[in-house]
Amino acid sequence: MSSAKRILLIIGGGIAAYKCLELIRRLKDRGYSVRAVMTKAAHHFVTPLSVGALTNERVLTDLFDLDEEREIGHIRLARDCDLIVVAPATADLMAKMAGGHAGDLATAVLLATDKPVLIAPAMNPAMWLNPATRRNVAHLKADGFRFVGPAIGEMAERGEAGPGRLAEVPQIIDAIESAFVGGAENSGALAGRHVVVTSGPTHEPIDPIRYLANKSSGKQGFELAAAARELGARVTLITGPVSLPEPEGVAIVRVKTAAEMLEAVRSALPADIAVFAAAVADWRVSAPQMEKIKKAEGQSAPTLTLTENADILKTIAQPGPQRPSLVIGFAAETQEVVAHAKKKLKSKHADWIIANDVSPSSGVMGGENNTVHVISSNGVESWPEMSKAKVARKIMERAATELDGKRTAAE
């Protein structure tokens, strides 16, 4: 297919490298052409033979590993593609990228390219959370590199869990597709912007099979992500457990607890707009049990001791270099909706609060419609009842106008 989008896949040396085989397969199914470069370390985890069999192209590793006709130099590799995907991106590879190294074929290609680059990191959580890696990631994001993941969960090392798993293949494919849609041909009101949305409930474990949760369906958050995408933004949707169809072209990060959600939001920054539509659990069980709590005859019911969760919106909205230009919170109230929401605008340092009545009679939780009040330093605007999709579209259009205003003011 001559019009096929060409992806150059750079495979780093991590245990997750084997997932690249599935990624290549899925990309080929979708009509992409894929060529692969492997770092030396990657050879320990997956063979060039299997990668080459799937890409139908010779796999390259060495800087001086040109083909017989000396046709595929690193400059040509860097230019003869539409997108470069680095998966898995190890801490070492990202450090080299951030430092502008070019000592092997992978790093030389990355330094020479003028194409968009999508990075899918994978490493041990301690390495991901290390200040050196945090610095390198912030650096790479500021330089315009796109990221997908890492996901949060169990690691290959037994008993270790946290952020650091390679994003799942469908999530990487979504990010690849959104990189293409978000390209130069896109001219929506939010083109070139990064929007982060939190959505859904959180689940706070009591024991391995029980948890504390709430009735949030996640619909409003998913609609916000879809609306931002339609307006041309690159969107990261961070969602608690929900069963909703995934919006197209949006990078989804699935989390369970409030602590995981906060970490996922931090990892997704920087962003131009952050919308906090999640119904985050205010409390978690202080000491969740590792084994199922059993009832024993004659014993009284267990007592749950709760600890307050960090306020994600308030944490991210604090003034600082990482603060998104526009921070939008929601206020779920069952009484004195506007009065309570006004307090939240101040106490959480949000730019806007979208207040809604979630009392059972309103039918908002789980329903299709929403009636909201938009509260900002300019006052209160009450919108009539409309679908959650329409509310989302109006909020995102207004956000685009607000950001354009900020840009003009700064010029």
* Residues near ligand CTP, by CB under 6 A: 198, 258, 276, 278, 280, 282, 309, 311-313, 329-332, 344
| Sequence-separated (6 or more) residues with CB below 8 Å from residue 36 | 8, 9, 10, 11, 20, 24, 51, 52, 55, 57, 59, 60
Q: What angle do CA 242, 246, 247 make, to 5 degrees?
A: 130
Please report how close the Cβ of residue 218 comes to ligand CTP at its closest, in angstroms: 12
Residue with Cβ nearer ligand CTP (222 or 330) = 330
Distance of CA 190 to the CA centre of its chain: 17
In whole angstroms, how far apart are CA 284 and each of 95, 165, 197, 214, 259?
A: 36, 24, 22, 12, 9
Q: How are beta strands 161-165 and 151-154 bridged, if at all?
A: antiparallel
Please report how close the Cβ of residue 396 comes to ligand CTP at its closest, in angstroms: 16
- Outline where DSSP puts E strands in 263-339: 273-276, 283-285, 306-308, 326-333
Please report how close the Cβ of residue 386 comes to ligand CTP at its closest, in angstroms: 20
Question: Do residues 13 and 162 touch, judged by C-beta distance below 8 A?
Answer: no
Residue with Cβ nearer ligand CTP (250 or 313) = 313
Distance of CA 53 to the CA centre of its chain: 31
The catalytically annotated residue of 124, 130, 186, 214 is 214
Residue with Cβ nearer ligand CTP (167 or 327) = 327
Please report how close the Cβ of residue 283 comes to ligand CTP at its closest, in angstroms: 9
Please report how close the Cβ of residue 270 comes to ligand CTP at its closest, in angstroms: 18
CA distance 251 to 234: 8
Please report how close the Cβ of residue 353 comes to ligand CTP at its closest, in angstroms: 7
Q: Which residue has the tokens 């690249």?
A: 20
Distance of CA 97 to the CA centre of its chain: 21
Angle, in degrees to the nearest 10, between helices 388-410 and 219-230? 50
Structure tokens at 131: 């200040």
Coil, helix or strand at residue 254: strand
- Outline where DSSP puts E strands in 65-129: 83-89, 117-121
Q: How many CB atoms lie within 10 A of CB 382?
A: 12
Please tell me whether the peptide bond between 205 and the residue prior to it is cis, using omega within 30 degrees of 0: no
Q: Name 251's bridge partners.
A: 236
Please report how close the Cβ of residue 198 comes to ligand CTP at its closest, in angstroms: 6
Q: Is 130 a residue of the active site?
A: no
CA distance 112 to 41: 21
Residue 320, Ramachandran bin (φ over 0: left; ψ between -120 and 50: alpha; else beta): left
CA distance 403 to 400: 5
Residue with Cβ nearer ligand CTP (177 or 282) = 282
CA distance 120 to 150: 7
Instruction: Estimate the share of the chain in helix, then strand, then coil, as percent rounded to the nearest 5.
Output: 35, 25, 40
Please report how close the Cβ of residue 327 comes to ligand CTP at its closest, in angstroms: 9
Residues carrying an active site annotation: 214
